[in-house]
Amino acid sequence: MQSLKNRITLKEVAERAGVSRSAVSRTFTPGASVSKGTRERVERAAEELGYQPSVLASGLSTGRTKLIGLVSNNFRNPFYLEVFDTFTTALQNSDLRPLLVNLTEDFDADRAQSMLQQYSVDGVVVASSTLPPQFATAFSNAGLPVVHAFARHLDNPNVDTVGIDDVSCGDLAARHLLGLGYKQLGFIGGPQKAASTMDRQTGFLRVAGSECPVFYAEDYAFDAGFSAMNHAIESGKIADAYFCGDDVVAIGAKAALEASGRSVPGDVGLIGVNGMTISGWQSVDLTTFRQPLACIVDAVIERLLELMEDPASTPRAIRFDPELIERNTLARR
Amino acid sequence: MQSLKNRITLKEVAERAGVSRSAVSRTFTPGASVSKGTRERVERAAEELGYQPSVLASGLSTGRTKLIGLVSNNFRNPFYLEVFDTFTTALQNSDLRPLLVNLTEDFDADRAQSMLQQYSVDGVVVASSTLPPQFATAFSNAGLPVVHAFARHLDNPNVDTVGIDDVSCGDLAARHLLGLGYKQLGFIGGPQKAASTMDRQTGFLRVAGSECPVFYAEDYAFDAGFSAMNHAIESGKIADAYFCGDDVVAIGAKAALEASGRSVPGDVGLIGVNGMTISGWQSVDLTTFRQPLACIVDAVIERLLELMEDPASTPRAIRFDPELIERNTLARR
DNA sequence: CGTTGTTTTGCAACCGATTGCAAAAACGTC
DNA sequence: GACGTTTTTGCAATCGGTTGCAAAACAACG
């Protein structure tokens, strides 16, 4: 009923330019057949009226909205601000628009999915290391192109994934610690049920040995890292160096060590994962494995574009290597 | 021409339920007239087919999309992760969808505006203390409901604003420092041209006196705070306590002080603004003015809903008081 | 049972675009 | 100037819903 605001429509531009509506539409459709003359007249008319084509209307007939659902449940970990920053700018550069979804108890997977379907998004990016693979699969079952970033890697995935290989990251961490001369290694993971935790643990213990002490932070958060390290301290036999499942967890762990009178890296060494900006602050100065965020994001979007072209394309798992950033929470023994 | 995916449409539901398309539409339109019988049949048919109404199509005729542009240029400051978290959940709870816009050099104000118009958003939230008022005004001139959060406050604003009163925040800060016995006060603001910086400075100097030393961090970021404090140190006459325009700036300033061999709060006191989670970490423990984020977000959305009802409603400036959180970067002298 | 008043229903037009198709215009060639 | 090609154009149907309007169904009442 109501016209959308008092927006200028195709029709008005057509009238002003003295051409048919199709001509106007074609002027704004790359690759359509319009003569130089009409194109110029249409463009002038559009310019004069301040015409903005309606994505809703064109989406209705073309079936594309250029909307991408950006779904995450990590709105507490500062690393994800960098993730959102990188994703939104990259999507914008590809002429796509992020429709942000914050998964909570109230707004669960089902609601998220039906909402994204209602908006006819062209694709979905799941950005989370804690969501299970089924979450992403649900979208692809519904016929939506989806790429899961920071997900667990399988050799024959049934949904596209991009990220680092957590198992080999754990492996690398243990080797690095041993290489520095640490003898007693310890592992402080994120949430126990998160795929990233399990995989990093697997890789780490493979090298460090299965008797190596293991603790979990309930959450990828400072407090959780703090209390996980306190458990480690209370356990009596504290390790020489810990591999922590996340930088924020590591920062919490460091605070707990210092609160107990121990120094880092003097008494105990720490290494994290993610390589978020904060870790580089002089007052933190955390040695960590950086996620190659820009590469990951680019790969996600490239893959998403491919899936939009060919939805039947078989899922792939794209891996990048984490980059060791040596700072000041580890010392040669 | 392609149908949108292979989505179930109104028509198919109507056929299956043996009613007209209008009946189906009315079943899903709150307040429309449908008999109990048809409603049930329609609901069953919809359920069986897994029908999801298309927001695009309905938006086209109703003129509402439930899409809200969430625009910001602060994707580096961890405080804004909390801002996005709170905004997205609150919008979701009001059955609105955040279309996230990351303002950059590439994606400037003009592009953002025309893009949001193309998507016929129902409203816009500008979340930034550094964007000028004209940015928000441009939307309201284009007929879009807009509320600017964390904006400068004017008594007769020409666009809706919600946030803390920066002038009185500066005032409060100075009084608090004097009350603790600090004699030589200093001010380290954010970007010099940001309204928040200027207002906090005004309030602060009003109490601290205009001879009080003033420095600016080029950015609301750690490094900027670090080097601003270094300038203060190099200037020769270092103050007893500094009011910093942002927590991250304060954290950077603290690092610079410590790097120069000074202790906080032993030698120099610091107080920040924002009250972000990080500031509460034991290893940071920063005294700060907390922004009442939940209140701000609720007020923004409430106001936005009002504007969507009545776009002619006269703009208001809603203020909240910052809350002093006393931690460990200030000590009684 | 007829009359009047209230709900419920379907028809058809519309929201603002896109696009297949056929007619019209422009172009080339002899 | 006639004729065959290619390009440009407009018509009209379509995308998936909403809604004013008038007809149909139902309810209430004397």
In contact, A220 and A197? CB cutoff 8 Å: no
**Of the candidates B283, B260, B279, B307, which has an alpha carbon nearest to the alpha carbon of residue B96?**
B307
d(CA B261, CA B256): 9
Nearest-CB residue to B255 (from A85, A117, A283): A283
CB of A290 closer than 8 Å to CB of A327: no
Nearest nucleotide by C1' position to the A38 CA atom: D8
N- to C-terminal Cα separation, chain A: 75
Report the residue from A5, A84, A115 with minimal CB separation from B143. A5
Average pLDDT over residues B276-288: 96
To the nearest whole Å, the CA of A176 is away from the closest chain B CA by 26
Convert the pLDDT of each residue in A175-199 to its tens digit.
Answer: 999 999 999 999 999 999 999 999 9
Q: Which nucleotide is nearest to B33 (CA to C1')?
A: C8
Flag residues 46-85 of B with CB < 7 Å from strand D. Answer: 51-54, 57-58, 60-62
Which pLDDT score, from 0 to 100, does residue A3 have?
Answer: 46
> In this complex, do A78 and B226 lie within 8 Å of one another by their Cβ atoms?
no
Residue of B nearest to A87 (CA): B102
Q: What pLDDT, in 10s, does the model give residues B88-115?
A: 999 999 999 999 999 999 999 999 999 9
Optimal mutation site among A97, A99, A104, interface B, most CBs of chain B within 10 A: A97
Query: Following DSSP, what letter does each residue of B235-286 receive, concatenated?
Result: TS---SEEEESSHHHHHHHHHHHHHTT--TTTT-EEEEEE--GGGGSTTT--
pLDDT higher than 90, residue B277? yes
Cα A224 to Cα B33: distance, rounded to the nearest angstrom:
53
The CA angle A102-A104-A107, to the nearest 5 degrees, is 85
DSSP A209: -
Q: Mark the nucleotides of strand C covered by protein, meaning any atom under 7 Å from a CB.
A: 7-12, 14-20
pLDDT confidence tier of residue A5, bands split at 50, 70 and 90: low
Nearest to A56 among B2, B60, B106 (CB): B60
Tell me if B52 and A104 make a contact (CB, 8 A cut-off). no
CB count in 10 Å sphere of residue B322: 21
Neighbours of B6 (CB within 10 A): 7
Q: Which residue has the tokens 């106001």?
A: B303
Q: What pLDDT was estimated at residue A2?
A: 47
Has residue B87 got a pLDDT over 90? yes
CB contact under 8 A, B78 and A81: yes
Residue B3 — very low, low, confident or very high, per pLDDT cuts 50/70/90? very low
Q: What is the dihedral of CA B188, B194, B195, B198, to 10 degrees?
A: 30
In this predicted structure, what is the pLDDT of residue A333? Answer: 85
Structure tokens at A74: 């990590």
Residue to mutate among B83, B91, B97, with most A CBs inside 10 A, is: B97
Distance CA A110, CA A138 (A): 9
CB atoms closer than 10 angstroms to residue A220? 29
Contact A5 B120 (CB under 8 A): yes
The pLDDT score that the predictor gives to residue B5 is 62
B22 touches strand D (CB under 7 A): yes
* Inter-chain touch B60–A53, beta carbons under 8 Å: no
Cα B293–chain centre separation: 8
pLDDT of residue A237 exceeding 90: no
Kindly tell me if the per-residue pLDDT of B4 is higher than 70: no
Q: Looking at residue A8, what DSSP letter applies?
A: -
Nucleotides of D under 7 A from a protein CB: 7-12, 14-20
Q: Could you read off the pLDDT of B118-140 as tens digits, one per residue?
A: 999 999 999 999 999 999 999 99
Q: B21: which 2 tokens?
A: 């398309």
Q: Is residue A218 within 8 Å of A224, Cβ to Cβ?
A: yes
Q: Which amino acid is at A121?
A: V
pLDDT tens-place string over residues B7-43: 899 999 999 999 999 999 999 999 899 999 999 999 9
pLDDT in tens, A80-111: 999 999 999 999 999 999 999 999 999 999 99
pLDDT, average across residues B205-219? 96
Find the CB nearest A255 among B6, B277, B283.
B283
pLDDT band at B2 (very low <50, low <70, confident <90, very high): very low
